[in-house]
Structure 1
Amino acid sequence: MANNRGFLKNLIYYIQYLLIRFFEILFMGLPEKTRFKIGEFFAVLTFKVVKEVRNITILNLKLAFPEKTNEEIKKLGIESVKTMSRAFFVNMWLDKYLENDDNFKIVDEELLNEIIKNGPAVFGAMHFGNMEAPVKLASRMPIVTVAKDRTNPYINDLVIKNRTRFNIVLLQKSKTTSRALIKYAKEGMNPILLTDHRDSNGTDITFFGEKTTAPTGVASIALKYKRPFYLMYCVLNKENITEVHIKKIEKSEDENLSFKENVQRTVQNMFNEMEVVMREYPEQWMWSYDRWKLNSKYKKGLLSKEMNDFVKNF
């Protein structure tokens, strides 16, 4: 019986994979601008139809921008899901997109050249704009990164294949990931890790005035191995051009503090800088992720009356 269930699940996964490949072939026959527009259409439809996505988005935006009106929050929410959708869809032809140098602009070229010259360094990245685009930098410096497995193994293999064609070292998240990441970092590679997500095993921080947790991996490597530490984020503008920004993060290296305390302060410094970036480009971040568990609290009736009424009357 268990074998039958396993066979059926595997068959469903394979059918999903075939449907995606079929859709991809049809999709790639369209002009690039049309592909982006289709992505935006489905994003707006999802925001309007899927209550969970809409509630998470507006609650996060209300936390970050309490001064904004409902109409302003709605507009920001829609622009955000449109950006994320364009970033997701471009993965289908990311190699071709990045082959065109006109699609990829380094805003801080002098800083990047300095980093490459003096390297290696460590980079924290964000679920922001065209977040997969930094793989193009693998032609200029050795990169190692980490990806979470997809449930569907066929789709997971496809994603890995698409990413590793850029000559990066891609580690799949597992119990041995940290050791492998440190190994590659010690060998001179540049870790670039998405690090704006919640991590219950991480460190306590304050993010947009709300207490939460954050991963410590990149900060720990930067401190332990005396590496320069940077925030890298990619704005996907209205013309579908990726603008890569790099900002140096101040590391806490206070001899009177423990290593753990210095890591916590360094992570907090990074998130303070993230706040600045997100306020400048609020339409670029993935607000549809329940970062502060606000939607979870809303469903349990644990939010303040003000936030509760805000969702109900939105």
Structure 2
Amino acid sequence: MNIKSKALSTVIYLISILPFGALYVLSDIIYFLLRRIIKYRKKVITENLQHAFPDKSIKEREEIKNKFYHFLADLLIENLKMRSMSAAQSKKRLKLLNPEIPLDYLNKGQSIIIVTGHYANWEWGIHSLSLMTDYPSLIIYKPINDPVFGDIYNKMRSRFGAIMVPMKQTLRKITEYKGRTHSSVFLADQTPTRKESNYFIPFLNQQTSVFKGIEKIAKKTNNPVIYCRIDRIKRGYYTAKFTILAEDPARFLENEITNIHTKFLENIIREKPELWLWSHKRWKHKPHD
């Protein structure tokens, strides 16, 4: 670990040991900076909301935007808290409502695919899924540009045993775990490059490029696909509910599983849109590009 990495890790740790009350005061300050001073990705957020909800009034979209900035600030400090949160705190702060659904498969020796999105606190979900069972949890992620911060962040994510797998190594790692009961966890709303996917489907009122990797792996392994819906109950408290989307993936038609999990996420977003990552440049590619 070099000097930069040590310094950054120390700063994150010192912030993380603050009580939640102090952290949310810090979050309020971050919100003001993001919303009023920096105006973080204001154009991206505004355009995303306008395209996704053309039927809503400007006032309604502004309300969603304001709530999103509040949530984004909370998300930032909550994720830093992962550096020192205990297992007991993690279980208390994100409660699994029906863990018997994934556990029933795992305890029978059946590996599973868990799908979620950039919605609510998906990062806390990594800790909760890791604490749910002793079976390996493969967390498929897209590496960030800063390798130093990425390494620190992955260590925070894997504190309770999660195995972090870069997206490009997904098939290799899942093949490596063939014959070993495990869960593989995917974020369904990652943005593919033009080379990675040319499949577009309607999502939030726009033709949207999506990865088909979840479906391909599901059909190849015939591992059941389960959606993990994380919801925010109040500040600092979340729940996760599991829903079986495809119990026998090999029997599904081409693109059907991709369409199902994408639509499932869209319906969740429409219920509480402020909890999705609107600052994400999700619609960089168009079908006609």
Please point out which of 188, 212, 217 is paired with 2:213.
217
Go from structure 1 to structure 2 and tell me whether the alpha carbon gap of 1:85 and 1:247 turns closer, same or farther (over 3 Å shift): farther
Would the aligned equivalents of 1:122 and 1:227 in 2 still touch at CA under 8 Å? yes
Please point out which of 201, 225, 228 is paired with 1:229.
225
What is the DSSP-based 3-state SS (H/G/I as helix, E as strand, rest coil) of the residue aligned with 1:249?
strand
C-alpha RMSD of matched pairs (Å) = 2.8
| Count of residues in correspondence between the two structures | 276
Equivalent residue runs for 1:247-266 within 5 Å: 247-250=243-246, 262=254, 264-266=255-257
Go from structure 1 to structure 2 and tell me whether the alpha carbon gap of 1:187 and 1:112 turns closer, same or farther (over 3 Å shift): closer
Following the alignment from structure 2 to structure 1, what is the Cα–Cα distance between the partners of residues 76 and 174?
Answer: 25
1:105 is matched with 95
Letter in 2 for 1:87: L
1:8 is matched with none
Would the aligned equivalents of 1:233 and 1:245 in 2 still touch at CA under 8 Å? yes
Following the alignment from structure 1 to structure 2, what is the Cα–Cα distance between the partners of residues 38 and 207?
Answer: 34
Letter in 1 for 2:239: E
Please point out which of 28, 52, 73 is paired with 1:64.
52
| Displacement after TM superposition at 1:26 (Å) | 4.5
Please point out which of 194, 197, 215 is paired with 2:190.
197
TM-score of the two chains, using structure 1 as the length reference = 0.77
1:153 is matched with 147
2:29 is matched with 41
Would the aligned equivalents of 1:84 and 1:129 in 2 still touch at CA under 8 Å? no
Q: Which has the larger radius of gyration?
A: 1
| Displacement after TM superposition at 1:106 (Å) | 1.3
Go from structure 1 to structure 2 and tell me whether the alpha carbon gap of 1:151 and 1:52 turns closer, same or farther (over 3 Å shift): same
Would the aligned equivalents of 1:81 and 1:288 in 2 still touch at CA under 8 Å? no
| Displacement after TM superposition at 1:51 (Å) | 4.9
Would the aligned equivalents of 1:234 and 1:244 in 2 still touch at CA under 8 Å? yes
Letter in 1 for 2:173: A
Please point out which of 50, 54, 63 is paired with 1:75.
63
Choose 124-133 or 193-202, whichever is displaced more: 193-202
2:115 is matched with 124
Q: CA offsets, 1:174-215, max 9 Å, x none? A: 4x4432234335532211011212213123222123112111
* Structure 2, unaligned runs of 5 or more: none
* Structure 1, unaligned runs of 5 or more: 1-10, 297-314
Go from structure 1 to structure 2 and tell me whether the alpha carbon gap of 1:167 and 1:253 turns closer, same or farther (over 3 Å shift): closer
Identity %: 19
| Displacement after TM superposition at 1:216 (Å) | 1.6
| Displacement after TM superposition at 1:223 (Å) | 1.4
